[in-house]
Structure 1
Amino acid sequence: MVRYREFWDLVDDVFGRAYGRSITGDQVLPALHDRTAVQALDDGEEPRVVWHALCDAMTVPEGKRWGTDPHRQAPPRR
């Protein structure tokens, strides 16, 4: 499970803080019904769902989706 705080930690780790904050607020994601990641989170969407949609849209390879922490477990897709 990805929690809200973990979502932002992953954004910062995978995309970098500045770029990550930019794409989460600007990139419209079809998988989230044409909302940005921030809009989807504000609407109550599960952070795990938002994270997968963002990574899919940005074509982040599976091996890089979970950042640099070797102890971080990938949450399952639903």
Structure 2
Amino acid sequence: MRRSELQRAVAHEFGARGDALIADLTLSTLGHRTAAEALAEGEPAGEIWLALCEEMDVPLSRRHGAGRIEPGRR
């Protein structure tokens, strides 16, 4: 997952509160860092997405492939 895909996935799943979650929510599986801190420290975007999903109880069915542009929509 790329950073842009992470941003799209967060916006799609969490809407207007997505930016606040990235900046403020500490993620236990990432050493109690925020997603923004983890990104700045080089953590892969896909791992951050999964950690955010786990923390926010996003169903497994909405985690895989999130944020990717559909073929033909690029």
Runs (4 or more) in structure 1 with deviation over 3 Å come to 66-69
Q: CA deviation at 1:6?
A: 0.3
Structure 1 gaps of 5+ residues are 73-78
C-alpha displacement of 1:64 = 2.4
TM-superposition CA deviations, 1:11-39 (whole Å, max 9, x none): 000100x2000011110011000100010
Aligned position for 2:6: 7
Comparing both structures, which one devotes a greater share of its residues to strand? 2
| Counterpart residue number, 2:59 | 61
CA RMSD, Structure 1 to Structure 2 (Å): 2.1
User: Structure 1 vs Structure 2: percent identity of aligned residues?
Assistant: 36
Match of 1:46 among 44, 47, 63: 44
- Residues 57-66 or 29-38, more deviating: 57-66
Give the TM-score normalised by structure 1: 0.79
User: In the alignment, is the contact (CA less than 8 A) between 2:9 and 2:67 conserved in 1?
Assistant: no
Query: Which amino acid in structure 1 is aligned with residue 35 of structure 2?
Result: A
What 5-or-longer segments of structure 2 have no aligned partner? none
After TM superposition, give the deviation of residue 63 of structure 1 in Å.
1.7
Q: Which has the higher contact order (CA 8 A, sep 6+)?
A: 2
